[in-house]
């Protein structure tokens, strides 16, 4: 079992990896706990949840909206939760984003902790304190940054994930390797079978490495004014693919990483050998989507990128496996590269 600590100016958060999720009980206060989960996770694990009031939302991105927060807040009030209350999220990224946001605004903020149940939330979503809901189809428009007191990542919970959800999380793990950890990249490259078999010992190592890196970045730049931007590697083009094709987030990010890698090669930041290594790894896990976004749509999709300031984008390039760099690039250049890449395929 590994423990990673995130210390930011306002908070101390512990991420426990490889811990049996049912030990969460020892981290909870005696009174005032409520569980937020979704219907899938409740069906699979609900009989072993701590016996406290429980509110389940429908699974998926559709629940990440303000009405759901309002409805949950009403339920908390009805359950008599006051300022001493504690919100325990048990679920994937959607549940953690919702519950974290709810806890941060209910009665101006109550305590919270997460049992993180999907690979995507274990390697990425539940570290760093970002939470929030979507607004009219634009992702994560309302939310804030607030660290949960703890996050438990139990790899045995990943055995019940669908293949698609599992691979979607794997893409974010590969992202971490490309931007910050060459050893992790090499380990993923030589462990294809064990990863596909969901070997729990290996998953503990992989999640630990990913969280260690993200925790370092977040501790240095909690509010994303500098270093934290590198975590957006693959996301500028990835969001465009996600909006156009409605594929799972990780698959869209994988295609975005292929584009960003090729863009890095065109700029002279990496060799063709490194580019091929990255693209081959993404391909080996079946993560790359075909996409052919028409001119008028790619213009609109890139113009809506949240990493844009005025006419420029903070674009994340790789400078070699394990190293990333953020450069200010004009929107026109980002769109132009997409079109060149698309047309040569
Ligand atoms: N806060 C952040 O920093 C951050 C970072 C990345 C992504 N996110 C957010 O995370 C969300 C995506 O996370 P996600 O992929 O976990 O989505 P999710 O929570 O919708 O989970 C995906 C699916 O897997 C199911 N599931 C979860 N755990 C399971 C388990 N152990 N066994 C079987 N099924 C299980 C869920 O019910 C759901 O159907 C997005 O909303 C994204 O914006 C947040």
Last residue of a domain, one of 122, 138, 160: 160
Same domain, yes or no, for 169 and 153?
no
The CATH number of residue 220's host domain is 1.20.1090.10
Same domain, yes or no, for 54 and 141?
yes
CA 270 to chain centre: 26
Taking the C-alpha atoms of residue 90 and residue 301, their distance in angstroms, rounded to an integer, is 33
Same domain, yes or no, for 118 and 253?
no
Pocket test for ligand 1, best of 96, 120, 238 (most atoms within 8 A of CB): 120
19 lines ligand 1 (CB under 6 A): no
Question: Quick one: which atom of ligand 1 is closest to the CA of 250?
Answer: 15
> For ligand 1, atom 13, which residue shows the shortest CA distance?
93
**H or E segment and range at residue 6:** strand 2-8
Same domain, yes or no, for 156 and 31?
yes
pTM: 0.94
More confidently predicted of 307 and 58: 58
The per-residue pLDDT for range 60-102, each reduced to its tens digit, is 999 999 999 999 999 999 999 999 999 999 999 999 999 999 9
Same domain, yes or no, for 186 and 152?
no
Measured in Å, residue 120 CA sits from the centre of ligand 1 at 6
DSSP letters of 282-333?
HHHTT-PPP----HHHHHHHHHT-TTEETTEEEEEEESSTT-EEEEEEEHHH
Taking the C-alpha atoms of residue 331 and residue 305, their distance in angstroms, rounded to an integer, is 10
Stretch 12-21: mean pLDDT, rounded? 96
Same domain, yes or no, for 256 and 127?
no
- At residue 267, does pLDDT exceed 80? yes
Pocket test for ligand 1, best of 60, 94, 112, 127 (most atoms within 8 A of CB): 94
Taking the C-alpha atoms of residue 265 and residue 273, their distance in angstroms, rounded to an integer, is 10
> For ligand 1, atom 3, which residue shows the shortest CA distance?
125
Confidence of residue 115 (pLDDT cuts 50, 70, 90): very high
Determine the structural domain holding residue 321 and report its residue range.
Answer: 162-345
> For ligand 1, atom 30, which residue shows the shortest CA distance?
161
- At residue 218, does pLDDT exceed 80? yes
Same domain, yes or no, for 196 and 214?
yes
Lowest model confidence (mean pLDDT) among 93-97, 231-235, 240-244 = 240-244
Look at the chain and report how many structural domains it folds into. 2
116 lines ligand 1 (CB under 6 A): no
Bridge partners of 324?
318
Last residue of a domain, one of 95, 125, 160: 160
Question: Quick one: which atom of ligand 1 is closest to the CA of 128?
Answer: 3
Last residue of a domain, one of 108, 125, 160: 160
Same domain, yes or no, for 146 and 175?
no
Lowest model confidence (mean pLDDT) among 133-142, 179-188, 233-242, 266-275 = 133-142
Measured in Å, residue 166 CA sits from the centre of ligand 1 at 10
The per-residue pLDDT for range 144-196, each reduced to its tens digit, is 999 999 999 999 999 999 999 999 999 999 999 999 999 999 999 999 999 99
Confidence of residue 305 (pLDDT cuts 50, 70, 90): low
147 lines ligand 1 (CB under 6 A): no
Taking the C-alpha atoms of residue 74 and residue 12, their distance in angstroms, rounded to an integer, is 29
Within 10 Å of residue 253's Cβ, how many Cβ atoms? 30
- At residue 310, does pLDDT exceed 80? no
Same domain, yes or no, for 269 and 179?
yes
The CATH number of residue 152's host domain is 3.40.50.1970
Same domain, yes or no, for 108 and 183?
no
Strands 150-153 and 138-142: unpaired
Question: Quick one: which atom of ligand 1 is closest to the CA of 157?
Answer: 31
Same domain, yes or no, for 209 and 289?
yes
In 3D space, the residue among 109, 101, 104 whose CA is nearest the CA of residue 84 turns out to be 109
Stretch 7-27: mean pLDDT, rounded? 94
235 lines ligand 1 (CB under 6 A): no
Same domain, yes or no, for 135 and 187?
no
């Amino acid at each position: 079992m590994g423990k990673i600590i995130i210390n930011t100016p306002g908070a101390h958060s512990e991420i426990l990896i490889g811990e049996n999720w049912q030990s969460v009980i020892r981290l909870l206060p005696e009174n005032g706990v409520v569980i937020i989960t979704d219907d899938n996770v409740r069906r699979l694990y609900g009989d072993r949840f701590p016996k406290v009031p429980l509110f389940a939302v429908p699974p998926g991105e559709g629940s990440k909206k303000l009405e759901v927060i309002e409805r949950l807040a009403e339920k908390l009030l009805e359950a008599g939760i006051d300022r001493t209350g504690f919100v325990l999220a048990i679920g994937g990224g959607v549940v953690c984003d919702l519950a974290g946001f709810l806890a941060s605004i209910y009665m101006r903020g109550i305590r919270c902790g997460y049992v993180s149940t999907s690979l995507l939330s274990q390697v990425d979503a539940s570290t760093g304190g970002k939470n929030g809901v979507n607004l009219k189809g634009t992702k994560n428009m309302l939310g804030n940054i607030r660290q949960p007191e703890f996050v438990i990542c139990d790899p045995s919970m990943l055995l019940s994930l669908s293949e698609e959800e599992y691979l979607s999380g794997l893409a974010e793990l590969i992202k971490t390797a490309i931007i910050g950890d060459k050893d992790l990249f090499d380990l993923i490259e030589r462990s294809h079978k064990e990863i596909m078999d969901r070997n729990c010992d290996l998953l503990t190592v992989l999640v630990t490495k990913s969280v260690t890196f993200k925790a370092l970045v977040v501790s240095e730049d909690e509010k994303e004014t500098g270093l934290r931007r590198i975590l957006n590697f693959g996301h500028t083009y990835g969001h465009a693919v996600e909006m156009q094709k409605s594929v799972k987030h990780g698959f869209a990010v994988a295609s975005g990483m292929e584009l960003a890698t090729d863009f890095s090669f065109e700029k002279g930041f990496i060799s063709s050998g490194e580019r091929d290594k990255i693209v081959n790894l993404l391909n080996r896990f079946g993560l790359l989507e075909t996409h052919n976004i028409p001119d008028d749509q790619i213009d609109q999709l890139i113009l809506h990128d949240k990493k844009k300031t005025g006419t420029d984008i903070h674009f994340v390039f790789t400078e070699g496996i394990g190293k990333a760099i953020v450069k200010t690039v004009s929107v026109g250049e980002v769109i132009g590269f997409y079109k060149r890449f698309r047309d040569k395929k």
